[in-house]
Structure 1
Amino acid sequence: MRTATQPRLDAAWQALRQWLGTTLLPAQCALCGIGCAEVLCSPCRAQYIGQGRGQLRHRCRQCANPLADIEVALLCGRCLHQRPAYDATVTAFDYAAPVDQLLLQLKFGARLALAPLLAELLHVAIQQQQAWDAPQLLCPVPLGRSRLAERGFNQALEIARPLARRLDVPLQPRLALRVRDTRAQSSVAPQERRANLAHAFAIAPDYAALLPGCHVGIVDDVMSSGHTVNALAAACKHAGAVKVSILVVARTPPH
């Protein structure tokens, strides 16, 4: 229960954290390591993730895989051949060096201060979409219990929180459940990844009434094969969602 003095204590603690961060523990650029006031210095931002370095790349509207600049199609051949459960994907940049370090440091280094930056970059990419249809709610990809206990946080949720504020869209972090712990997709052979995610997600009964006729935005850090977000999108569609958009910070280019 919050007391009358709690807001002042919260403000004082926030001020102390900021002072410690800027005085005793000066910030370093997450990519080049030079001292700077932000988590990413201006030169790295301009060189690696400035406009034209991923956000404006010609991509498939449905899965966000890169398309050749000479292609006029809106969808890639894979999506035309076998349409996924989700309807659109927006990504901030390709998952490639050196910017992949931003996600690796967040996910495996617990550098949570990177989450607002990644949400900002994803928001910029969303704003650059010519025909952006805003979802009615955001749902981060949930982690399994063992993975959450091991890591201590869900990187998708950490990104979804500031993104929801920027988009002014309600965040529903408990909408989806990971009902079956699965192996990390990166450790699974490509031909086994779809089966690894089979029946892994379910919609929480207390939130199922939100989905009929709803446009859901699924938030994640990295999209590689797309099987994870596709499985969650299928669960949302099965519960009545009419549209699912994937909002992912980085997209692994096809090999």
Structure 2
Amino acid sequence: MPERSLAAPKPALIEKVLMRCAGQCAVCRAWSHQTICESCLGLYARPLPRCWTCAARLPPAFVGRPRPQCGRCLQTAPPLDRAVAALDYRFPWDGLLQHFKYHQALDLRESLLERLNTALSAAEVEAPDWLLPVPLSIERLRERGYNQSHELAKALARRRGLRCKPEMLLRVRHNDRQAGLKLEDRAANVRGVFAVEPLLAARLRGTSVALLDDVMTSGSTLFELAGVLLQAGVMSVQAWVIARTPEPGDE
């Protein structure tokens, strides 16, 4: 009888199987069939009113208003047609995202992705022609071992039936970490850092794009990328992020 060759299971399949197995909640450590239990999701993942174009949290009075915007976006319109954030970058999501980003904790990907997918469905966003992750520099990629935004974008594209071609965007030079800079210095730090891949630029002209990143702080990185895409002939740009840092005074 001929031997049967057993192909190694795909990592995505292993991840899905593990997600169904009982274990500890990543937040409260209670016994749970999910990476984050329902109790913690109810406590820490409640939807909040957010600015239409930068996803900053807005006061409760803005609930139900069509296309609400914060004062900053009303004063200076960002180059985004829409911004959606699933969560606030605070406990427990700040620690979980740090773990996912710097320690390759891929077991958290599906739970984080589910939060974003739920937020996108609630926001009734228009499906873009392309879903593109924020690119990393070669130096940062070597340091981390993978691009966390790329991992999220690939999985979300499969789930929502979107085209995802990460190589369309380039990071043409290495820059300082945004996290170590003052808010007013972040825009200068990313200026001229990104470009559209010249061999693929024609495929972007006249299309709509959603940019995906794990965390949005000042918005400088996503605004810079959006400007590059608009200059390349893209018609509209959205930003989809797992978490948005609270504005001063939101605590």
TM over 0.5: yes
Question: What is the distance in 2 between the residues matched to 1:74 and 1:41?
Answer: 31
Question: What is the distance in 2 between the residues matched to 1:234 and 1:104?
Answer: 27
Note the residue ranges of structure 1 that are not aligned, 5 or more in a row. none
Residues 67-125 of structure 1, C-alpha deviations (whole Å, 9 max, x = no match) = 22224572111111111122110111111112222211101221012112211110100
Question: What is the distance in 2 between the residues matched to 1:129 and 1:17?
Answer: 27
User: Is the 2:117–2:156 Cα contact (8 Å) retained in structure 1?
Assistant: yes
Task: Indicate yes or no: 2:58 matched with 1:67.
Answer: yes
Task: Indicate yes or no: 2:120 matched with 1:122.
Answer: no
18 and 214 in structure 1: CA distance in 2 versus 1, 3 angstrom threshold: closer
1:28 CA displacement: 2.9
Residues 188-228 of structure 1, C-alpha deviations (whole Å, 9 max, x = no match) = 12221110000010011222112111110100000000001
Residue 85 of structure 2: which of 91, 95, 99 is its match?
Answer: 91
User: In the alignment, what sits opposite 2:205?
Assistant: 212
User: In the alignment, what sits opposite 1:80?
Assistant: 74
1:16 CA displacement: 7.6
176 and 69 in structure 1: CA distance in 2 versus 1, 3 angstrom threshold: same
Q: In structure 2, the residue corresponding to 1:245 is in which secondary structure? A: strand
User: Is the 2:22–2:34 Cα contact (8 Å) retained in structure 1?
Assistant: no
Note the residue ranges of structure 2 that are not aligned, 5 or more in a row. none
Letter in 2 for 1:204: E
Task: Indicate yes or no: 2:198 matched with 1:200.
Answer: no
1:38 CA displacement: 2.6
Q: In structure 2, the residue corresponding to 1:31 is in which secondary structure? A: coil
Question: What is the distance in 2 between the residues matched to 1:173 and 1:119?
Answer: 18
- Further displaced range: 218-227 or 109-118: 109-118
16 and 48 in structure 1: CA distance in 2 versus 1, 3 angstrom threshold: closer
Task: Indicate yes or no: 2:39 matched with 1:43.
Answer: yes
User: Is the 1:31–1:99 Cα contact (8 Å) retained in structure 2?
Assistant: no
Question: What is the distance in 2 between the residues matched to 1:247 and 1:135?
Answer: 11
User: In the alignment, what sits opposite 1:9?
Assistant: 7
Task: Indicate yes or no: 2:29 matched with 1:33.
Answer: yes
Question: What is the distance in 2 between the residues matched to 1:149 and 1:219?
Answer: 20
Question: What is the distance in 2 between the residues matched to 1:170 and 1:117?
Answer: 22
Extract structure 1 runs of 4+ deviating beyond 6 A.
12-19
1:17 CA displacement: 8.0
88 and 13 in structure 1: CA distance in 2 versus 1, 3 angstrom threshold: closer
242 and 114 in structure 1: CA distance in 2 versus 1, 3 angstrom threshold: same
171 and 13 in structure 1: CA distance in 2 versus 1, 3 angstrom threshold: closer
- Further displaced range: 66-75 or 228-237: 66-75
Task: Indicate yes or no: 2:153 matched with 1:160.
Answer: yes
Letter in 1 for 2:237: V
Question: What is the distance in 1 between the residues matched to 2:149 and 2:11?
Answer: 26
Question: What is the distance in 1 between the residues matched to 2:53 and 2:13?
Answer: 43
Q: In structure 2, the residue corresponding to 1:70 is in which secondary structure? A: helix
Residues 4-59 of structure 1, C-alpha deviations (whole Å, 9 max, x = no match) = x87x413488888888x69xx9743221223433321232222222xxx1x3x221
59 and 164 in structure 1: CA distance in 2 versus 1, 3 angstrom threshold: same
Question: What is the distance in 2 between the residues matched to 1:42 and 1:114?
Answer: 15
Question: What is the distance in 2 between the residues matched to 1:133 and 1:13?
Answer: 30
Letter in 2 for 1:110: Q
Question: What is the distance in 2 between the residues matched to 1:13 and 1:176?
Answer: 26
TM-score (norm 1): 0.87
Identity %: 37
Letter in 1 for 2:58: L
* RMSD of aligned residue pairs (Cα, Å): 2.4
18 and 234 in structure 1: CA distance in 2 versus 1, 3 angstrom threshold: closer
Q: For 1:135-174, list aligned pairs within 5 A.
A: 135-174=128-167
Q: In structure 1, the residue corresponding to 2:111 is in which secondary structure? A: helix
Letter in 1 for 2:54: C
TM-score (norm 2): 0.88
Question: What is the distance in 1 between the residues matched to 2:95 and 2:38?
Answer: 17
